Structure 1
Amino acid sequence: MIYLLWTIKKFRNLLLTSVILLGFVLSGIISPLQSENLFIHPCETETVIEAINIQDDTVITDVHILDIANQLIDEGCKKEALELLDQSTEKIGRPGLKYALTYLDLVSSLNRKEMFDKATTMYLVSLTNQNFQEDDKAVLILEYHRLSPLLSREEERRMKALLLDDDTWSLADEIRKKWVHLDPTPSIAGNQRLIEHRIRIQKALEKFPDEDRPHGLDARGVAWLRYGEPDKIYDRPFNFNRGELFAFVSEFQEMKESFGITASAGDFTGFMVTEDAEEISDDSDNGQTFRITGSSSSGTSQFDAARTTDDLIDTIYRNPFHTNLNIWIYNRFDMEMNENLIFYFAEGKNNVFRQIASLDDWIPQGLFRPSSRGYNASFSPALPLQYLAYQRLMHVDRQFMDAYNELENRIFNNPVERSETQLLHMASNVRTRHQQATAQRHFSAPEEHSTEKNKIPDIPMSVYQYRALGSNDQPVFITFIESRPTVSFITDFLAHQEIMDTNNDGDEYSMFANITQWYGLEHGLHLYNANMEPRGRIRDNPVLELEDERELPAISIADIPLIEEGAVQIFHSKLFNYHPDTEPPEESVYPDELRGLGKITIEQADHFTDWDNRLLISDLITGYGRIQHDRARFPFIVSHNRTIPEGENPVIHFEVYGLQTDADGFTHFEVDYRFEPDRRTFALFRRNRDRLTGTIEFSTTVNRFRESIEFDTLSLRPGQYTLNWHVRDLVSGRNATQNLTLEVVETGNRTASNR
């Protein structure tokens, strides 16, 4: 028997405490209480779990707990519902997906950061093949539909095929893998991108519901899931009054007369001018209405323009459309985007908005026809609406300004566009170009974007890898992890300098040291197999380089083992401020102490295909400078882009494996090197060509060897060179060769990325 003892404490100085015994029995000894009788008090009170007394032989299920939690949520008691789920988790054998999602949504909406790790883990575990339950199939399908806006085309194709095949277990695992990929902080269990997604879902369902779609959202809600709240929203009704249309027609008529374009006979026939004022709307900026009477003080031209306007209005009335249009503008997400990302949503039935391909698609198709019943002007009815729409929006975004200027020029200023045929089809041609341009911008945009991540300063990162063999003669990647947290540090440092500086002696160096003691930098690697299951991780706390004017990167070096094909390596860099009195500049779902974040995901590269029982050379690592003997592994400035400043000594690091020993237990091998200049540089070295080649002899007692060789007598002129590096084992007679291209650059053009 299970007894859940709940204590409901009233506010407003009420001393009486009501204790409600909620009972439901899995053993059938007493009848379960109906869910509607479980709670007898509205949620104006604070509900606290007093005790959960569960007999050892009783198993509680997530279904019963969820039933109670959902009633709490319906009453507005989210905190109490979360407390119930949290307290009950350990009592449940395997929480299902529905339970995990309810827990995750409550943690997300209440921003309980201390529970992010548990909520994420519970969700991901519920999606694994070992834990996914058939009863959660409907919930999983809904989860897929709400994740689909974030998927790439290939991911969408793969998951949709699993859905059609009713392979829910594989679909659940694909969803799990997607969230592992999207995790911005793989070093901790909590997945902030997942938390942000759940918050977006809750807000989108509230703001943009559409019960007829599988994810329950209209087109605006889908964009919200992908990119969050837009930076700008234009949602004024797109109505134009008669005066605006009349002004366009008048200017058009003046253009035709000034350039001698003859109107067709049907341009001004079939019109009726009445004494009544007529308008399409009164929602323009000036709010004016225009009255056309039976006579015109402006002469025949104005009278003809008035009749054309009347005909235009009649035609628009015969093609009704919703004038409510939402335009969402997202500022470009990164420097690779040349323009902002714009969405167009037109209102349909029941206040549900659908996405349209361009602003021009807000206009009904019938208005793009060159001629229709009662309308025979030399431009389609859509053209003035396009012109006025872009004119109204020209100050909202540069794209609208460009579109308006293009229309203005083509209609009124470009003689090439003034033939009758081109004018009649101009609106359709403009619409097609705008549709194509919008489609290209959307195609080039990322599948999703995190606004929460934007609240954390970005740490630029680079990862460089070289093939080698580890100490056990198994393939590894010598990996350089570099980050540049200087900007993130300075941003946070300036914001909290006064709070953290407790040194009053006025010494700048002491002040700087006193403040920087609160900062920490972390580099990390998480290694996953092809199924995105963890296979290992590495963490390092490199020195935070702040005092060197060269803005050198922080560096970590690791040997990463080669694992199965399809493996994924995820690298991160984090900057922390652990001072207890400092706060991040913006509230976010990330830990408060996090002040900078970088991440790089790469697929495991190819390695040597055969490394056993043969002579093998690692990838050559190039650099320059004097050898620093106090630095063990790479005692020189490594140049990953293989550029060497003119006047610096080139350095080549190599490792050789599979050497044979002689009868005395020694290995003997030679290295032949040759720096081959390209044709443009070759003539400069004709007389001293022997200085670009050489042979170095080595002897050791082990079958593997590594060394960094500095060429202090080699003076290479600026230009490109091919380095041939040949190792010959004098004992076994085996040979191995590596080649690479490097470049000597003029002094001042140093682009080496490492020390």
Structure 2
Amino acid sequence: MCAVGVLAGTGAAPAVLHAQTDPYVEGKLLLADDDWVQALEVWERGAQALARRGEYDPRIGVAYIEVATEHQATGFYETASELFVQGFSGTNMERYEPAVIAEAQRILPLLDPDDDDDEVPVWEEMIKKRDPALIRRIKRFWIEKDPTPGTAFNERLIEHWERIAYARRNFTLQKDSPYDTDDRGTIYVKYGPPDKSQAGIMGADDFELRVRTPNNGGSRFADTRRELRRYDFHPQYEVWGYDELNGQDVTWFLFGNYEATGPFRLLKSPRELIHPSAWSPSSRNATPGNVKAAYYMELFIYGELAKIGGPYARRHSQLETYWDRMQGAQFRLAPNEESLEAFSLRFKQEDDFGPEYPAEVAVISDYEGPLREMELVATATRVLEGDEPRLIITALSSPRSSLPGVRALERYKLDDGTIRHTLIVRDEALNEVGRINERVSSETGDISTFTLRHIARPMHFTVLGEIVCCGEDRRRDRRLYPGQAHFMPGPPLSTDPAHLEISDVVTGLPIPDEFDPADLVFPLVPSRTVWRRDPLRVYLEAYHLQPAADGVHRMRADFRLVRVEGQREILDLDHPPVTLTVDLESQAPVAKRVFDINVRDQVIGHYRLEVTITDLVSGESKTRQVGLHLIQ
């Protein structure tokens, strides 16, 4: 294989790159000769050489982790994690666009469409525009999915690529998904192996046909059965069920040949397994009841799917009961077509607009989502201290607290150890530039506060918590505390005394008795998840207020709490937005205020709190907003 052939598949410029100068190509040539171990070594050396020159090739990291997981070479997994993330450190979108776009498209199915930050449309727009910022957005995504950011090994990333490798070995009736698989591959990468499954070939056997096309002593019905089989194309199908995607019951996914002979894909409804010809009016000529052949096919399809249970069994029971009643008590050859159409359309509408027990989580993983045992409550707040912009990061993980989001911590008793909070600081390229460790004791509330000078350059912060226990073998006794939080704060606050400035909004709960207020930098316990029965406490600071003629500084605070889905407001006449206006005075140009808002009458869900501060002397206004989750 020549180097040009390899590069043509990647979208790079084959005229200027050769195996001797391009480690990615050299590795691909070795891989073509089945020397995958040597290929990994070439890619590792090549990536290191590029990094020393401040250059990065995302193709190398992707190829390395792809080959390592394909061969289940666990000894290479740590290096695979490092090289993959390192490869997305650059900005050369023009040269590596195909590799970057392909990886972004592999991430898209993992995103939650109901996320408060509207991540899906943001990613889709960046992919559409071929935005160079995609490179580091990919790096940030996988950094923030790493359950152990204190180590080089990214377990979630490896799990993801192991699933891709498995899907590529087993689900390739089509290769039109982002993972070069059929749609089963996409579902497998998102959720792992199903809890229930059934596969086979659709179609009516002779017994079913005889039941639904009775002979009654005439040869015409035998001919009818042969005619009816013309519309039975025996599509392949597979159905998967997952127990943990919905809090109520099993979530089902149906795959099959679209319209009986089309591509094998994820289907919305069993109707999509029926060939279009069976819906044609002329198909009535092939059925003894003079109804479209599609309604016979639908009955047979539900009969096959009923074997796995769930909604398919219930629907088949309804159809079978109706057919039996019409063909038995009514002595009809088939039910009337209008009734069968009503059944069919009702089932289709349920599948299209209100599927039973749909997936409520974007992924199932051993390292993220609902399977985490504990959560870390952390916030990042921009403030001014004198004329200096500051960033205050707080971390809370209390086994004794009943705060939302940390109730699971009550199971843990830390009599023989402490919690260590670690703040990992990364630069604009998302390369680590430092870390700060702080040990805290359960006796003091397990609260850490990191106060940093807020520089103008973009920075990324990770807060990590670990339970550190005592013992002879400290490494063995250390248990990872998987809660973590990530922040990319906005620019530093303005220090211009001529213009109004306000801090970020801090939300949480009134300080409970078990906490010492001296351990908290703000007069609340920070949290963005709030029990509905508790007051929502809000804290903010206003700077550079202008004095009135009497020397007093006056401002107005306007609050608006509105329920949202993503960024879209939900209009609810029974539960309109909560609004509050407060006029305040201050003897100084800096005002620090705390407010309690009653949310007892609000429905549970996601909210956006908007706070506008107006300097009543200068007339200037500034608004901050923050997302909240109100729970029962």
TM above 0.5: yes
The answer as to whether partners of 1:527 and 1:568 remain within 8 angstroms in 2 is yes
Tell me which of 50, 57, 70 is aligned to 1:96: 57
Rounded to whole Å, the distance in 2 between the matches of 1:161 and 1:180 is: 23
RMSD: 5.8
Distance verdict in 2 for CA 1:391–1:118, change over 3 Å: same
The answer as to whether partners of 2:228 and 2:286 remain within 8 angstroms in 1 is no
**CA deviation vs aligned residue, 1:184-227 (integer Å, no higher than 9, x gap):** 44444443333223222322222233686485322323333333
Equivalent residue for 1:119? Answer: 80
Tell me which of 154, 159, 169 is aligned to 1:196: 159
Rounded to whole Å, the distance in 2 between the matches of 1:630 and 1:604 is: 26
Rounded to whole Å, the distance in 2 between the matches of 1:70 and 1:83 is: 11
Equivalent residue for 1:423? Answer: 339
Equivalent residue for 2:597? Answer: 741
Equivalent residue for 1:400? Answer: 312
Tell me which of 353, 365, 370 is aligned to 2:276: 365
Distance verdict in 2 for CA 1:369–1:642, change over 3 Å: closer
Distance verdict in 2 for CA 1:578–1:217, change over 3 Å: farther
The answer as to whether partners of 1:344 and 1:356 remain within 8 angstroms in 2 is yes
Equivalent residue for 1:459? Answer: 374
Q: What pairs with 1:242-261 in structure 2 (closer than 5 Å)?
A: 242-247=206-211
**CA deviation vs aligned residue, 1:532-586 (integer Å, no higher than 9, x gap):** 67787665444358xxxxxx985434447777799876555455779899999xx
Count matched residues: 533
Q: What pairs with 1:347-746 in structure 2 (closer than 5 Å)?
A: 353-369=264-280, 371-375=283-287, 377=289, 379-394=291-306, 396-407=308-319, 420-426=336-342, 428-437=344-353, 445-450=360-365, 453=368, 457-463=372-378, 468-470=383-385, 473-474=388-389, 476=391, 479-482=394-397, 516-517=416-417, 521-524=419-422, 539-543=437-441, 554-559=446-451, 571-575=463-467, 595-600=480-485, 604=489, 612=497, 623=510, 631-633=518-520, 638=525, 641=530, 726-729=584-587, 739-742=595-598
Rounded to whole Å, the distance in 1 between the matches of 2:292 and 2:261 is: 31
**CA deviation vs aligned residue, 1:50-82 (integer Å, no higher than 9, x gap):** xxxxxxxxx97515751564256x15xx55554
The answer as to whether partners of 2:44 and 2:83 remain within 8 angstroms in 1 is no
Distance verdict in 2 for CA 1:363–1:434, change over 3 Å: farther
**CA deviation vs aligned residue, 1:336-361 (integer Å, no higher than 9, x gap):** x7651413233899997333322232
Distance verdict in 2 for CA 1:303–1:581, change over 3 Å: farther
Matched, 1:314 2:231: no
Equivalent residue for 1:223? Answer: 187
Distance verdict in 2 for CA 1:236–1:489, change over 3 Å: farther
Rounded to whole Å, the distance in 1 between the matches of 2:48 and 2:433 is: 27
Rounded to whole Å, the distance in 1 between the matches of 2:97 and 2:431 is: 23
Rounded to whole Å, the distance in 1 between the matches of 2:479 and 2:251 is: 29
Matched, 1:323 2:235: yes
Q: What pairs with 1:42-81 in structure 2 (closer than 5 Å)?
A: 62=23, 65-66=26-27, 69-70=30-31, 74=34, 78-79=36-37, 81=39
Rounded to whole Å, the distance in 2 between the matches of 1:565 and 1:402 is: 60
Equivalent residue for 2:572? Answer: none
The answer as to whether partners of 1:177 and 1:532 remain within 8 angstroms in 2 is yes
**CA deviation vs aligned residue, 1:656-713 (integer Å, no higher than 9, x gap):** 87799xxxxxxx9999xxxxxxxxxxxxxxxxxxxxxxxxxxxxxxxxxxxxxxxxxx
Query: What's the offset of the Cα at 1:234?
Result: 0.9
Distance verdict in 2 for CA 1:544–1:398, change over 3 Å: farther
Query: What's the offset of the Cα at 1:325?
Result: 1.0
Query: What's the offset of the Cα at 1:377?
Result: 1.2
Matched, 1:241 2:205: yes
Q: One-letter code of the match for 2:510?
A: G
Q: One-letter code of the match for 2:373?
A: D
The answer as to whether partners of 2:47 and 2:57 remain within 8 angstroms in 1 is no
Query: What's the offset of the Cα at 1:231?
Result: 2.6
Q: One-letter code of the match for 2:80?
A: A
Q: One-letter code of the match for 1:381?
A: A
Matched, 1:154 2:93: no
Q: One-letter code of the match for 1:458?
A: E
Rounded to whole Å, the distance in 2 between the matches of 1:461 and 1:453 is: 13
SS of the aligned residue for 1:458 comes to: coil
Distance verdict in 2 for CA 1:129–1:82, change over 3 Å: closer
Rounded to whole Å, the distance in 2 between the matches of 1:743 and 1:137 is: 48
The gaps in structure 2 that reach 5 residues or longer are 4-19, 114-119, 400-405, 555-577, 602-629
**CA deviation vs aligned residue, 1:144-188 (integer Å, no higher than 9, x gap):** 55445446642553244235xxx7x55545544443454444444
Query: What's the offset of the Cα at 1:727?
Result: 4.6
Query: What's the offset of the Cα at 1:363?
Result: 2.2
Rounded to whole Å, the distance in 1 between the matches of 2:410 and 2:164 is: 33
The answer as to whether partners of 2:507 and 2:537 remain within 8 angstroms in 1 is no
Distance verdict in 2 for CA 1:351–1:577, change over 3 Å: farther
Query: What's the offset of the Cα at 1:436?
Result: 0.4
SS of the aligned residue for 1:372 comes to: helix
Q: One-letter code of the match for 1:597?
A: P
Q: One-letter code of the match for 2:27?
A: L
Rounded to whole Å, the distance in 2 between the matches of 1:120 and 1:185 is: 12
Query: What's the offset of the Cα at 1:334?
Result: 5.7
**CA deviation vs aligned residue, 1:475-501 (integer Å, no higher than 9, x gap):** 54564534667858969x9xxxxxxxx
The answer as to whether partners of 2:387 and 2:495 remain within 8 angstroms in 1 is no
Tell me which of 340, 347, 351 is aligned to 2:251: 340
Matched, 1:207 2:156: no
Q: One-letter code of the match for 2:287?
A: Y
Q: One-letter code of the match for 1:469?
A: L
Q: One-letter code of the match for 1:741?
A: I
Q: One-letter code of the match for 1:367?
A: A
The answer as to whether partners of 1:311 and 1:375 remain within 8 angstroms in 2 is no
The answer as to whether partners of 1:721 and 1:743 remain within 8 angstroms in 2 is no
Distance verdict in 2 for CA 1:653–1:634, change over 3 Å: farther
Equivalent residue for 2:612? Answer: none
SS of the aligned residue for 2:228 comes to: helix
Distance verdict in 2 for CA 1:739–1:83, change over 3 Å: closer
SS of the aligned residue for 2:231 comes to: coil
**CA deviation vs aligned residue, 1:27-64 (integer Å, no higher than 9, x gap):** xxxxxx999xxxxxxxxxxxxxxxxxxxxxxx975157
The TM-score with structure 1 as length reference comes to 0.54
The answer as to whether partners of 2:191 and 2:364 remain within 8 angstroms in 1 is yes
Q: One-letter code of the match for 1:322?
A: H
Distance verdict in 2 for CA 1:156–1:722, change over 3 Å: closer
Rounded to whole Å, the distance in 2 between the matches of 1:203 and 1:651 is: 48
**CA deviation vs aligned residue, 1:101-160 (integer Å, no higher than 9, x gap):** 3332344456666755543343333334456683x5555555455445446642553244
The answer as to whether partners of 2:242 and 2:252 remain within 8 angstroms in 1 is yes
**CA deviation vs aligned residue, 1:640-666 (integer Å, no higher than 9, x gap):** 6599999xxx99999787799xxxxxx
Q: One-letter code of the match for 2:187?
A: A
Alignment identity in percent?
Answer: 16
Rounded to whole Å, the distance in 2 between the matches of 1:627 and 1:486 is: 15
Distance verdict in 2 for CA 1:119–1:420, change over 3 Å: closer
The answer as to whether partners of 1:204 and 1:225 remain within 8 angstroms in 2 is yes
